[in-house]
Amino acid sequence: MRLLVTGGAGFIGSNFVHYVLSHTEHTVTVLDKLSYAGNLASLDGLDPARFRFVLGDIQDASLIATLTPDHDAIVHYAAESHNDNSLSDPRPFLESNIIGTYTLLEAARASGIRFHHISTDEVYGDLDLDDPARFTENTPYNPSSPYSSTKASSDLLVRAWTRSFGVRATISNCSNNYGPYQHVEKFIPRQITNVLRGERPRLYGTGENVRDWIHADDHSSAVLTILERGVVGETYLIGADGEKNNRSVIELILTQLGHPADAYDLVADRPGHDLRYAIDSAKLRTSLGWVPRFADFETGLADTIAWYRNNEAWWAPHKDAAEARYRTQGQ
C-alpha cells in the first residue's frame, strides 16, 4: 500500500513509519507541520525510495487534495495531545483535532481511499482505582479534559462520515504509549531524562493514578494489523495489559538507572487528573489475531531507557524548553 501518514514526525507516528518500512513493502508519505512536538530527526535514516516528507497542515484542504490521489490509505496520527497544554490553551486542540480531522475525512470522502483514525482511551474518561472493569469498545464516552473531548469529537466525526458518506474508516483507541522518539514533556521520557541529567524526577499528587502502558512498537503493529485486516466501520481498542500507577513507574525508572527508588519529589496534582485507564483489547486479539511483543513492561521500559541514554542529541535540544513550561505551571 501507499500510505499517507499524518503527524508522522511525532512520537507514535514516527514509530509507526519506522515499523512499516521495517516490516512491510509499503511506501509512506509523512505529512507534518512540525509543531514543537514534531521532529524531523525522528525520521532520519529512512529509505528515500519508499519514504518522503511533506511539510504541511492537516487543515490545508488544497494540500490534502493534491496528496490523496497518490495514496491508498490515510493513517491519521496528527493531533495536539498534551493534556497540560490543553488546560492552558484549548484552542489549538479544537483546530487540529476537530477541524483537521474533518478536513482529512472530506478528502477521504472525495477520493474514496481507506482511512484509519488514531485515538486514545482518554475519550472514555477514567475508572475508579479499585474498579475491576476495563474500557471496551462499548464503553460510553466521558472525556474530562479539553484534549480528550476534542479526540472524542474527532472519533464521532469519523463514525458519522462512515455512516453518512460511506468513508471506509476504522478507529483505534489506544492506552498510553511509551518508547523511542517521545517528546520530553511526557511522563516517562521526562522522568528518564531528569535522572540522566542528575535532576530529581517530579510526580503529580501522590502518584496513585494508573495508566495502561503499551510500547510504541506494539501500538504500531496493532495499527498495521487493523489497517490491513480490520473491518470498515469498526473500532478496536489497543492495549498490552500494562497497568501501572505513576509512582511505581517512576520508582522503576530510578531503580533501572541505579538510583534509590524514593529519589523523587511530589508536586501539586494536575487539575482534573484522571484516576485510572485500563484497556480490554480482547476484540483486537481474538478477531484479528494481534499479540504484543513487549508483554512485560519492565523489559519495554529498559529498552526505552537505553534509547534515551544513547540518543541525548535527539532530546537535549527540547529539554530546557519543556522544563521551563513546567516551571511556569509550578510543576
**Separation CA 8–CA 18 (nearest Å):** 10
d(CA 117, CA 79): 11
In a domain, 192, yes or no: no
More confident residue, 316 or 269: 316
Supply the DSSP symbol for 202. E
Mean pLDDT of the chain: 94
pLDDT in tens, 53-81: 999 999 999 999 999 999 999 999 999 98
Residue 314 is assigned to a structural domain of this protein: no
The model's confidence at residue 50, banded by pLDDT at 50, 70 and 90, is very high
CATH code at 159? 3.40.50.720
Catalytic residues: 121-122, 147
- Taking each helix axis from N to C end, the angle separating 312-328 and 297-310, rounded to the nearest 10 degrees, works out to 100
Q: Cα(first)–Cα(last) distance of the chain, in Å?
A: 44
Q: CA 102, 105, 109, 115: dihedral to nearest 10 degrees?
A: -170
**pLDDT at position 46:** 97
Res 320 pLDDT > 80: no
If you write DSSP's letter for every residue of 51-105 in order, what string do you get? EEEEE--TT-HHHHHHHGGG-SEEEE------HHHHHH--HHHIIIIIIIHHHHH
Residue 254 lies in a domain: no
Cβ atoms of residues 219 and 12 within 8 Å: yes
pLDDT of res. 323: 72
User: Could you report the per-residue pLDDT of 76-113, keeping only the tens digit for each?
Assistant: 999 998 777 888 889 999 999 999 999 999 999 999 99
Total domains in the chain come to 1
| 32 in a structural domain | yes
- Output the pLDDT for position 69: 94
Does residue 310 form part of some domain? no
Alpha-carbon distance of 169 to 188, in angstroms, equals: 31
Predicted confidence (pLDDT) at residue 25 exceeds the cutoff of 90: yes
Rg for the chain, CA atoms, rounded: 19
Confidence of residue 141 (pLDDT cuts 50, 70, 90): very high
Angle between helices 187-196 and 246-256 (to 10 degrees): 30
Is 62 a domain residue?
Answer: yes
Question: Which pLDDT score is estimated for 260?
Answer: 97
In a domain, 322, yes or no: no
pLDDT score at 329: 66
At 331 the pLDDT is 55
Q: Is 202 part of a structural domain of the chain? A: no
Structural domain boundaries, residue 15: 2-182+213-241+276-295
